[in-house]
């Protein structure tokens, strides 16, 4: 049992680290594209894919870190590698990319919170459905358990009234009448 849990834990760690390395590899690829071209060419939009991937696979904190790193690398590419003069259109393009990265990070975070809320509501509905099923089972079992001895008592009273067990005296007949009135056979 412990070994099985350990194997599951190892699989989760491997999956988590493989996802991290995929995100890191894509991030590095975008950085290489970004810094190997002149600043007028903007590859910072490609960071959006990394932000979305990080949000769907990693924690909120890691997604924020990836978004901030993408913003910093996008802005730094204005001055690095430093081979061209900085123009207003280049700065404007970079600021537009930064805005797109911020919006993507914010929307990804919001989407995650909606997905978590939907998952919580589904679990709540499932719990309510299970509770309703248990309630129906309980009511059915209770009804059956109460009806079975009552039916036996009714049949016994009917057998006494029809004198299947022998003649019934006047006092016994009064008692049977009271019992019949209590369980309302007639």
Pick the more confident residue, 122 or 183: 122
Distance from C-alpha of 75 to C-alpha of 47, rounded to nearest angstrom: 13
On whether both 159 and 119 belong to a single domain, the answer is: no
Residues 180/157, Cβ–Cβ less than 8 Å: yes
Q: Which domain holds residue 142?
A: 131-183
Reply yes or no on whether the pLDDT at 9 is more than 60.
no
> What local confidence, expressed as pLDDT, does residue 17 receive?
62
% of the chain at pLDDT higher than 90:
10
Residue with token string 């194997």: 7
Reply yes or no on whether the pLDDT at 13 is more than 60.
no
**Confidence at 64, pLDDT banded by 50, 70, 90:** confident
Residue 139 to residues 3, 18, 130, Cα–Cα distance (Å)? 43, 51, 14
Reply yes or no on whether the pLDDT at 107 is more than 60.
yes
**Six-digit token string for 147:** 């009806």
Q: Which residues lie below 8 Å from residue 64, measured CB to CB, with a gap of 6+?
A: 105
Reply yes or no on whether the pLDDT at 76 is more than 70.
yes
> What local confidence, expressed as pLDDT, does residue 186 receive?
43
> What local confidence, expressed as pLDDT, does residue 121 receive?
94
Residues 90/39, Cβ–Cβ less than 8 Å: yes
> What local confidence, expressed as pLDDT, does residue 144 receive?
79
Question: Integer distance in angstroms from the first to the last C-alpha of the chain?
Answer: 62
On whether both 119 and 145 belong to a single domain, the answer is: no
Residues 118-169 have pLDDT tens digits of 999 999 999 999 999 999 988 888 887 877 777 777 788 788 788 888 888 8
Pick the more confident residue, 9 or 21: 21
Per the structure, the count of domains in the chain is 2
Residue 122: exposure state from Cβ atoms within 10 A (0-12, 13-18, ≥19): exposed
On whether both 35 and 112 belong to a single domain, the answer is: yes
Distance from C-alpha of 38 to C-alpha of 17, rounded to nearest angstrom: 33
On whether both 92 and 147 belong to a single domain, the answer is: no
Q: Determine the average pLDDT of the residues in 50-73.
A: 83
Last residue of one domain, picked from the residues 124, 145, 173: 124
Residue 79 to residues 76, 87, 115, 138, Cα–Cα distance (Å)? 6, 11, 39, 73
């Amino acid at each position: 049992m412990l070994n099985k849990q350990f194997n599951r834990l190892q699989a989760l760690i491997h999956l988590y680290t493989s996802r991290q390395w995929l995100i890191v590899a894509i991030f590095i690829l975008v950085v290489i594209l970004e810094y190997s071209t002149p600043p007028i060419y903007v590859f910072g939009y490609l960071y959006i894919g990394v932000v979305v991937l990080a949000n769907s696979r990693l924690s909120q904190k890691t997604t924020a870190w990836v978004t901030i790193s993408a913003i910093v690398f996008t802005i730094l590419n204005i001055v690095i590698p430093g081979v061209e003069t900085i123009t207003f259109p280049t700065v404007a393009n970079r600021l537009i990319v930064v805005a797109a990265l911020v919006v993507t990070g914010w929307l990804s975070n919001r989407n995650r919170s909606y997905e978590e809320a939907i998952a919580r509501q589904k679990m709540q509905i499932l719990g309510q459905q299970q509770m309703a099923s248990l309630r129906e089972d309980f009511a059915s079992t209770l009804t059956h358990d109460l009806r079975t001895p009552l039916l036996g008592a009714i049949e016994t009273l009917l057998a006494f009234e029809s004198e299947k067990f022998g003649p019934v005296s006047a006092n016994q007949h009064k008692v049977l009448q009271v019992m019949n009135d209590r369980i309302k056979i007639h």
